[in-house]
């Protein structure tokens, strides 16, 4: 199963994705390092966003409900 044998491919072609049928031995550590980087960037963006957050008037105050005593 699987569609047949692997066909020959050129060895001198460089690919940023790893080339044909790549299985790096350190894939787990690469994945861990990448996830730590993504989480660090997301944490930084979250904090900057929280510091710069501007809240508008509340939904109730826009209709003047608090002034009418409802």
- For residue range 51-60, what is the model confidence (pLDDT) as tens digits? 999 887 666 5
Binning pLDDT at 50, 70 and 90, where does residue 4 land? confident
Distance in angstroms (rounded) separating the CA atoms of residues 5 and 21: 12
- For residue range 10-43, what is the model confidence (pLDDT) as tens digits? 777 777 777 776 777 888 999 999 999 999 999 9
**Exposure class string for 35-70: b at 16+ Cβ within 10 A, else e:** eeeeeeeeeeeeeeeeeeeeeeeeeeeeeeeeeeee
pLDDT, position 58: 63
Residue 24 · residue 18 · CB < 8 Å:
yes
pLDDT, position 60: 59
Q: Which residue has the higher pLDDT, 69 or 12?
A: 12
Residue 21 · residue 3 · CB < 8 Å:
no
């Amino acid at each position: 199963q699987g569609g047949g044998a692997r066909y020959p491919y050129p060895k001198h072609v460089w690919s940023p994705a790893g080339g044909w049928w790549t299985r790096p031995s350190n894939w787990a550590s690469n994945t861990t390092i990448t996830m730590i980087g993504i989480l660090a960037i997301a944490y930084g963006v979250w904090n900057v966003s929280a510091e710069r957050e501007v809240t508008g008037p509340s939904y109730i105050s826009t209709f003047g409900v608090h002034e009418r005593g409802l």
